[in-house]
Amino acid sequence: MFQMNRRRALQLMTTLGTAGLVAGCGSDDADSDAVPERNRIKIGLIAPENGAGKAVGQEITNGFELYLALNNQHLGGHPVTLEKRDEGETAKTGQAAVNDLLKQGVLALTGVANPAVISGIRDIVEQAKVPLVGSNASPVSLQSVVYIWRTSYVLDEPGRALAVYLKERMPTGSRITVIAPESSASLDVVQGFRQAFGNDDPRIADETIWTTAKTNPGDSDFAPHIRQAIDRDPDALVGHFAGPAAIQFIRQLRRNRPAYQGPLYAPGFLTEGNVLNEVRGVLLDGDDNLLPGSIHTVSNYSVDLNNSANRVFAAAYRKMYSSSPTTYAMASYDAAQVLDKALRIAGPNPSPQVLNLAIGKIGQIDSPRGVWQFNQPRTPQQKWYLRSVQLDGRLLSNVMINEVATLG
């Protein structure tokens, strides 16, 4: 995985300047006061390093390491040793990673991409009484926790945010077809969409089309399900795919032109990361014009949000990694900011339990996504945005259209 060396970090801080550091860290006046040098601490970061989740794991790692770089490798005045472990793809591999980090004496944990992993490590974290500030995985079933916090969202919320938008937009008599892989994450998203839209609303009366959940689907795996969806003559498709599955779904859907040239709506996972680069050939014509068939997504983050924290974060991320940040990187960056603020409150020699109590006292986070704060279930109360896939110069980008909801 990408390693940020000290020289590169110092170059980045010099480029952004002192004003950029304060804005990038989201500090208010009280937090900006210098904190005396404190004892070194260990933070454990869990993220997938191989397989289908590797790209998300890289973003999670990048976001956390960027915050450390902008703060001279310190959190709350403590120099930080970041212990990284591969979460793998199952609850068992995630458990092994957590147990190893706990043996290393970490003060807190962060990361976790896979919903199955965070569910599998729940009891270990709660029994160890070491706070986990998770930055991605957040299934609906993860409830009644004391030591697990999440800076992303609960997995039904992308579906709920999308429903808020479409319920007002789609006229009476229109027809929406939902298609998604049969996985626990998709079940959460689709349930959130249907509940927020209204389960008895005739516009979503069609049953969900469930595809087989595959981490690396083939180039025709979705074809029969897409034909089934098109045969229903929908006015709009709602899908939930991510990573390699998103790439294949978009490609295979576009093979069915002109049978379907309507809009595709989805949670932001559909077009995050390198997906748009991979599907460029099926979204543009020979003259690099967008073909009919718009793609809209909802997300808690858009790289073009116009606030000071995001301007610093996005510029620093591009400078460091030569790519644009995603919601995965942003949430991990915010996880580091949460720990920074909590460690300032916790004092010079905090235990994991004292740090956990301090996390509950941090208040608002000045984030690249906009200001947010933890709610009672230890997840963010935050804004959601509608984005549209558009050409930004010669690049395909998720362009923010408007705010659609505040959830959490």
Q: Is residue 99 part of a domain?
A: yes
pLDDT at residue 28 greater than cutoff 50: no
Q: Residue 343 above 50 pLDDT?
A: yes
Tokens of 257: 């032109």
Predicted confidence (pLDDT) per residue in 111-167, tens digit: 999 999 999 999 999 999 999 999 999 999 999 999 999 999 999 999 999 999 999
Where in 242-321 does DSSP place strands (E)?
264-267, 295-299
Task: Report whether 118 contacts 148 (CB < 8 A).
Answer: yes
Q: Per-residue pLDDT for 406 more than 80?
A: yes
Positive or negative CA dihedral for 278, 51, 1, 272? positive
Over range 389-397, report the average pLDDT: 91
Answer yes or no: do 145 and 72 share one domain.
yes
- Contacts with 333 (C-beta within 8 Å, 6 or more apart), sequence order: 63, 64, 66, 67, 313, 325, 368
Residues 280 and 165 in one domain: yes
Least confident of 6-20, 74-88, 273-287: 6-20
- DSSP-derived letter for residue 287 is T
Average pLDDT over residues 338-352: 97
323 within some domain: yes
**Does the model's pTM come out above 0.95?**
no
Residue 1 covered by a domain: no
The string of pLDDT tens digits covering residues 39-81 is 999 999 999 999 989 999 999 999 999 999 999 999 999 999 9
CATH number, position 238: 3.40.50.2300
Q: Model confidence at 23, in pLDDT bands (50, 70, 90)?
A: very low
Contact indicator for 60, 328 with CB cutoff of 8 Å: yes
- Work out the average pLDDT over 203-220: 94
Same domain, 289 and 309: no
> Is residue 40 domain-shared with residue 121, that is, in the same domain?
yes
Q: Are 108 and 43 in contact (CB under 8 A)?
A: yes
Residue 25 lies in a domain: yes
Same domain, yes or no, for 167 and 92? no
Same-domain check for residues 180 and 56? no
Give the model's confidence band at 31: pLDDT under 50 very low, under 70 low, under 90 confident, else very high. Answer: very low
Helix (H, G, I), strand (E, B) or coil at 132: strand
Q: What total of structural domains would you count in the chain? A: 2
What band does 234 get if pLDDT is binned at 50, 70 and 90?
A: very high
Are 213 and 176 in a shared domain? yes
Half-sphere exposure (Cβ direction) of 228: Cα atoms closer than 13 Å? 15
Residues 328 and 403 in one domain: no
Q: Taking a C-beta distance cutoff of 8 angstroms, is the pair 126, 145 a contact?
A: yes
Residues 264, 233 share a domain: yes
Q: For 263-291, what is the mean pLDDT?
A: 95
pLDDT band at 217 (very low <50, low <70, confident <90, very high): very high
The pLDDT assigned to 25 comes to 55
379 located within any domain: no
For residue 111, tell me if it sits in a domain. Answer: yes
pLDDT at 30: 41
What's the pLDDT score for residue 15?
59
Q: What's residue 27's pLDDT?
A: 46
Given a contact cutoff of 8 angstroms between Cβ atoms, the answer to whether 56 and 273 are in contact is yes
Q: 323-334 pLDDT, tens per residue?
A: 999 999 999 999
Shared domain check, 399 and 251: yes
In the 3-class helix/strand/coil scheme, how is 151-187 assigned residue by residue?
CCCCCCHHHHHHHHHHHHHCCCCCCEEEEEECCHHHH
pLDDT(207) > 70 = yes
pLDDT of residue 20: 46
State the pLDDT at residue 3.
Answer: 45
Q: What is the mean pLDDT of the chain?
A: 92
Bridge partners (DSSP) listed for residue 148: 132
| Residue pLDDT, tens place only, 354-376 | 999 999 999 999 999 999 999 99
90 assigned to some structural domain: yes
Angle of the 308-321 helix axis to the 6-24 helix axis, nearest 10: 170
Helix (H) or strand (E) run with residue 407 in it: strand 395-407
Structure confidence at residue 256 as a pLDDT band (50, 70, 90): very high
Measured CA to CA in angstroms, residue 171 lies from 161, 174, 179, 236, 339 at distances of 18, 6, 20, 11, 45
Q: How confident is the model at residue 348 (pLDDT cuts 50, 70, 90)?
A: very high
Domain assignment present for 362: yes
Q: Are residues 170 and 288 in the same domain?
A: yes
In this prediction, residue 12 has a pLDDT band, given cuts at 50, 70 and 90, of: low
Give me the pLDDT at residue 10, please.
56
Q: Which domain holds residue 123?
A: 6-153+304-374
- Number of Cβ within 10 Å of residue 233's Cβ equals 11
39 and 104 both lie in a single domain:
yes
